[in-house]
Copies of this chain bind each other. A is one copy, B any other.
Amino acid sequence: MKIAIVQFNPIVGDMAGNARRIVEIAEEASARGADLAIFPELCIVGYSHHDLLDNDYVISSIEIAIKWIHERVPSGMALVVGTVRRNPSRLGKKLFNSAAFLQADRPAQYVDKMLLPTYDLYDEYRYFEPAKSQTPITFKGLKLGIHICEDMWNLEKYASYLLYERNPLSELIEKGAQLLINLSASPFSHGRHRLRTELIQDICAQHHLPFVMSNQVGANTEMIFDGDSRVHAANGDLICLAPSFEETVLYWDTFDHRPCPVPTHDRIQDLFDALVCGIREYDKKSGVFNHLLIGLSGGIDSAVTAALAVEAVGPLRVSGITMPSEYSSEGSVSDSQLLAQNLGISFHTIPIQPAVASFKDMLAPLFVGTTDGLAEENIQARTRGLALMAVSNKFGHLVLTTGNKSEMAMGYATLYGDMAGGLGVLSDVFKIDVYLLAEYINHRAGRPVIPISTIQKPPSAELRPDQLDQDSLPPYPILDEILRLYIEERLDFHAICDQLGHSEAFVRDILSAVDRNEFKRKQAAPGLRVSKKAFGTGRRMPIVMKYDRESLELLKLELSVEANA
């Protein structure tokens, strides 16, 4: 049997457009002799659909799209398409997350998802009822063990505890499945590719069956999908693998068991590719921007953002603006100009001093007797934000924000200032990785596209004389590791001190700064997710709270004194 594994890039909510493209791809696969074409999880509505599924018209539209596709299944062929199915029972959630099995002139068959991820970015219990069972579907003599995404992620080795009581794969295999087929909408994060390979090889070792995965590709707002669709032989060997971050169709004949090379993955190269994909897709799917616009400070964050933007949409659709103030160093303009020249993007300079001075004059009656401080620093940052947004509004540009994960964590950014924009490119990238990205970009180009002086200068917000990040923040290599353990590994100060050997007060102050700045991140632009725990939809923290570790330690102390009394 010849199988087309479709690594598909849907537009969220575009049920009609996605359906038309599914049929086009199916027809092409049929022309190339495929018996079966497999499309990813929820590919008619696109992942993540969020609360679109609370809307009955959306559900009806998905049903219509499935019928419309069903009418067009090429003769002799079957399609497996990720969709929703209404729960016929009055008990439970209204929908199932389903795979429709469609053949011409036969009724549609459905397999519903059993394991519903409800953590991090995933809210599947919000919409779906978990299926009670799954049954293989027989096609051309082969029993297909169709299942959906999380249904395969239930091996003890891959979780600190088992999230689910049941193992859908074992149930399918008990019912005679001969080929395992997984429809996924599984996003990219660091190391995800290797984890998928290990997991599927473990499944193959346990069940001795070949395994096919069709994954969504592209990006939708903050979620980036690398694709990584593949076929493993019954012995676990990788035999087909789709290129990452590209819509593509893999063709596999079930008689073919020849292994293909397992590519190695470089973390920074993956990061680069993922961010480029995220920018490109945001731009393309929004469909309303003619240009990407970046405020260039001469620093490394805006330089790396600009280089990524150029890779995503080409230099002719990227502009940089530098907005020097009285505190800007000589290099902030010259390095920005050099960067723009290296990248081949258009470049403008808007000195902001006149507007800053106007604000100071306007506010002088209220500010009389006060000394310059945070308010004045923020006026500069916000004047820049305002100027960028004015250019954006005037010409239909998308402003990219440049704040990295270290800054966003610590609130070392100005709301409505440098945080103004539509998409946060680096907000899930720690500062030390921004440096590695810069090196990678220059290495890849074979020349210092990002000026060496930009890489070598000490980081500064340049909002007051001689200001350096290191006056307000610990050195980034130390800070980033603490932040990573807190945000991504979800450890708290005791465990972090144990691992890294810092003092409790030092770590506690950093974690408190992270907590305290949730109000800023609430109003941040959506940011591209590349780690296993990014700020945004996947990390939901209270804004008004009093998470006071010192008072908790005191309570603990009182309790232990009592215990010893």
Nearest 4 CB-CB pairings of A with B: A57-B492, A13-B547, A13-B545, A16-B551
| Nearest CB of chain B from residue A415's CB, rounded to whole Å | 7
Q: Would you call A559 and B64 a contact (CB within 8 A)?
A: yes
Q: Would you call B379 and A542 a contact (CB within 8 A)?
A: no
Q: Is A139's CB within 8 Å of the partner chain B?
A: no
Q: Is A525's CB within 8 Å of the partner chain B?
A: yes
Q: Would you call B64 and A556 a contact (CB within 8 A)?
A: yes
| Nearest CB of chain B from residue A94's CB, rounded to whole Å | 7
Q: Would you call B19 and A286 a contact (CB within 8 A)?
A: no
Per-residue CB proximity of A352-384 to B under 8 Å, as 1/0? 101101110111011100100111001100110
Q: Would you call B13 and A48 a contact (CB within 8 A)?
A: no
Q: CA A66 – CA B517 in complex, angstroms?
A: 29
Q: CA A525 – CA B415 in complex, angstroms?
A: 11
Q: Would you call A355 and B362 a contact (CB within 8 A)?
A: yes
Closest B residue to A51 by beta carbon equals B540
Q: Find A391's partner among B161, B165, B366, B422 (CB 8 Å cutoff).
A: B366
Q: Is A58's CB within 8 Å of the partner chain B?
A: yes
Closest B residue to A363 by beta carbon equals B390
Q: Find A362's partner among B14, B351, B365 (CB 8 Å cutoff).
A: B351
Most buried by B among A92, A285, A358: A358
Q: Would you call A12 and B546 a contact (CB within 8 A)?
A: yes
Q: Is A119's CB within 8 Å of the partner chain B?
A: yes
Most buried by B among A65, A524, A555: A555
Q: Would you call B548 and A17 a contact (CB within 8 A)?
A: yes
Q: Find A379's partner among B91, B386, B495, B545 (CB 8 Å cutoff).
A: B386
Q: Is A54's CB within 8 Å of the partner chain B?
A: yes
Q: Is A494's CB within 8 Å of the partner chain B?
A: yes
| Nearest CB of chain B from residue A221's CB, rounded to whole Å | 5
Q: Would you call A555 and B68 a contact (CB within 8 A)?
A: yes
Contact A542/B91 with A494-B57, A525-B522 known, Cβ cut-off 8 Å: no
Question: Which residues 270-299 in A have Cβ within 8 Å of B in the complex?
Answer: 281-282, 285-287
Question: Which residues 107-159 in A have Cβ within 8 Å of B in the complex?
Answer: 118-119, 123, 125-126
| Nearest CB of chain B from residue A311's CB, rounded to whole Å | 19
Chain B positions within 8 Å of A55 at CB level: 490, 492
In the complex, besides A71-B559, A348-B366, 19 extra interface pairs with C-beta distance below 8 angstroms are A12-B542, A12-B547, A13-B547, A14-B547, A16-B552, A50-B542, A91-B162, A92-B163, A94-B161, A354-B358, A357-B358, A367-B394, A374-B393, A382-B390, A382-B416, A389-B415, A416-B420, A522-B525, A522-B526
Per-residue CB proximity of A1-43 to B under 8 Å, as 1/0? 0000000000111111101000000000000000000000000
Chain B positions within 8 Å of A13 at CB level: 515, 542, 545-548
Q: CA A497 – CA B370 in complex, angstroms?
A: 58
Chain B positions within 8 Å of A551 at CB level: 14, 16-17
Chain B positions within 8 Å of A348 at CB level: 365-366
Chain B positions within 8 Å of A49 at CB level: 542
Q: Would you call B91 and A52 a contact (CB within 8 A)?
A: no
Q: Is A267's CB within 8 Å of the partner chain B?
A: no
Contact A51/B493 with A13-B545, A15-B555 known, Cβ cut-off 8 Å: no
Q: Is A541's CB within 8 Å of the partner chain B?
A: yes
Q: Would you call A64 and B359 a contact (CB within 8 A)?
A: no
Closest B residue to A162 by beta carbon equals B91
Q: Would you call A386 and B383 a contact (CB within 8 A)?
A: yes
Most buried by B among A362, A378, A493, A495: A362
Contact A545/B14 with A416-B386, A555-B19 known, Cβ cut-off 8 Å: yes
Chain B positions within 8 Å of A161 at CB level: 90-92, 94
| Nearest CB of chain B from residue A380's CB, rounded to whole Å | 10
Q: Is A498's CB within 8 Å of the partner chain B?
A: no
Q: Would you call B387 and A359 a contact (CB within 8 A)?
A: yes
Closest B residue to A161 by beta carbon equals B90
Q: Is A451's CB within 8 Å of the partner chain B?
A: no
Q: Is A93's CB within 8 Å of the partner chain B?
A: yes
Closest B residue to A539 by beta carbon equals B51
Closest B residue to A360 by beta carbon equals B390
Q: Would you call B541 and A52 a contact (CB within 8 A)?
A: yes
Question: Which residues 486-536 in A have Cβ within 8 Å of B in the complex?
Answer: 490-495, 515, 519, 522-526
| Nearest CB of chain B from residue A308's CB, rounded to whole Å | 17
Q: Is A215's CB within 8 Å of the partner chain B?
A: no
Q: CA A276 – CA B195 in complex, angstroms?
A: 51
Q: Is A330's CB within 8 Å of the partner chain B?
A: no
Q: Find A416's partner among B92, B162, B366, B389 (CB 8 Å cutoff).
A: B389
Q: CA A203 – CA B350 in complex, angstroms?
A: 68
Q: Find A355's partner among B358, B394, B416, B540 (CB 8 Å cutoff).
A: B358
